[in-house]
Structure 1
Amino acid sequence: MSFVIRVVFAIAAGVLMSIAAVLLLYAPYSVLRDAMASGGKIHHSLLGAVGYLIVAIALFDVAKYFFEEEVPAGRERRTAADARRGLTKFVSTIIIALFLEALVLVFETARENVAEVKYAALLVFSGCLTLVCLGLFQRLSAATEKEVGPEPNDRPEGEDMAMDAKEPPSTGPGRLA
């Protein structure tokens, strides 16, 4: 079953990269097409192209995450720190895409309909909230890793028995006596 899951992630990553490549090609094409049709007035299509490029880069980054984290064999026994780093990279990509898209939306709405800027502000707020949640996740998971210590599979061979024999059970906060 693990092989099937890795194949599905590889196919999904390949499809995402293909869509991103099409967007990377379509963005300049749309600007050139609009420039020829409108006689050089392309400010609106440039903002649209920036939006396409932002989405393309985010898709490439998500596909890269799949290829690095989900596709390789033997990655099933990851540590909590590995999972935290992978999730942080993934969510960071989403946050960057949110902020860039919000910036484009601010410029578009400021030129067309200023009353609609509230939607861009909500997008900025959601990006900020996601960033705060990522920071909270980082802090809590790092604190948990420090409190719990390395996973048993992370200790060098032979150290399990030596550490268990030397260390008496702790009765500190959060531990049962």
Structure 2
Amino acid sequence: MRAFDVVTRIAFGLASAVLMILACALIVYAGSGVWDSFRTAERNIGATALEAVGYTVIAIAVFDVGKYLLEEEAIRGREMRNAGEARRSLTKFISTIIIAVLLEALVTVFEAGKEDPRLMVYPTMLLVSGCLLIVGLGVYQRLSISAETKVRDPEEE
């Protein structure tokens, strides 16, 4: 069983490294697009900068997923933790995803607003999804904290 644990940790470590490298590549790609738009007059600098923001937001979310895998699965493994630590870790991870979704929605609102108002359905759905994620995270926090309290002090019922 120990060999399987080592192989699993190596696999998660490699996967997280690949995700982090790809996230850095996305940021470099976004930066090179902006740089090229400054050098040539053919490209619209505003549209390219907005596209670069979208790529950067996605890169941050991908990088955070890689970091989460590295910290939680490769380094720490599946060792037992208390419920509070697991809740904080999951909250931090989901918060990053929520920020990425909402920033992508914001970028997409600006892009769609300039092109055609009928394209606003996708950004609106992203905003609704981000809001639902926030509400879901709040419900999760509330339920997990009350469950932790009951586990810690069962005489309080």
**TM-score scaled to structure 1, two decimals?**
0.80
**Structure 2 regions of 5+ residues with no counterpart?**
none
* Structure 1 residue 39, shift from structure 2 partner: 4.3
* Structure 1 residue 41, shift from structure 2 partner: 2.9
Q: One-letter code of the match for 2:129?
A: S
Matches within 5 A, 1:132-171: 132-149=135-152, 170=155
Which protein, 1 or 2, shows the higher relative CO under an 8 Å CA cutoff with sep ≥ 6?
2
Could you tell me which residue of structure 1 aligns to residue 125 of structure 2? Answer: 122
Could you tell me which residue of structure 1 aligns to residue 113 of structure 2? Answer: 110
Q: One-letter code of the match for 1:133?
A: G
* Structure 1 residue 43, shift from structure 2 partner: 1.0
* Structure 1 residue 143, shift from structure 2 partner: 0.3
Could you tell me which residue of structure 2 aligns to residue 97 of structure 1? Answer: 100
Instruction: Give deviations 1:120-175, integer Å, cap 9, x for gaps.
Output: 1110000000110001001000100000118xxxxxxxxxxxxxxxxxx95x74xx
- Residue of 42, 59, 63 corresponding to 1:60: 63
Q: Structure 1: which 4+ aligned runs deviate by more than 2 Å? A: 32-41
* Structure 1 residue 74, shift from structure 2 partner: 6.0
Q: Hey, what's the Cα distance between the residues in 2 that align with 1:72 and 1:26?
A: 30
How many residues end up aligned between the 2 structures?
154
Could you tell me which residue of structure 1 aligns to residue 85 of structure 2? Answer: 82
Q: Relative to structure 1, is the Cα distance of residues 136 and 32 closer, same or farther in structure 2, using a 3 angstrom cutoff?
A: same
Q: One-letter code of the match for 1:104?
A: V
Could you tell me which residue of structure 1 aligns to residue 50 of structure 2? Answer: 47
- Residue of 16, 19, 22 corresponding to 2:22: 19
* Structure 1 residue 38, shift from structure 2 partner: 3.3
**TM-score scaled to structure 2, two decimals?**
0.90
Q: Hey, what's the Cα distance between the residues in 2 that align with 1:74 and 1:116?
A: 44
Q: Relative to structure 1, is the Cα distance of residues 5 and 118 closer, same or farther in structure 2, using a 3 angstrom cutoff?
A: same
Q: Relative to structure 1, is the Cα distance of residues 73 and 111 closer, same or farther in structure 2, using a 3 angstrom cutoff?
A: closer
Indicate the structure (1 or 2) with the bigger Cα radius of gyration. Answer: 1
2:7 aligned with 1:4? yes
Q: CA RMSD, aligned part only?
A: 1.9
Could you tell me which residue of structure 2 aligns to residue 71 of structure 1? Answer: 74
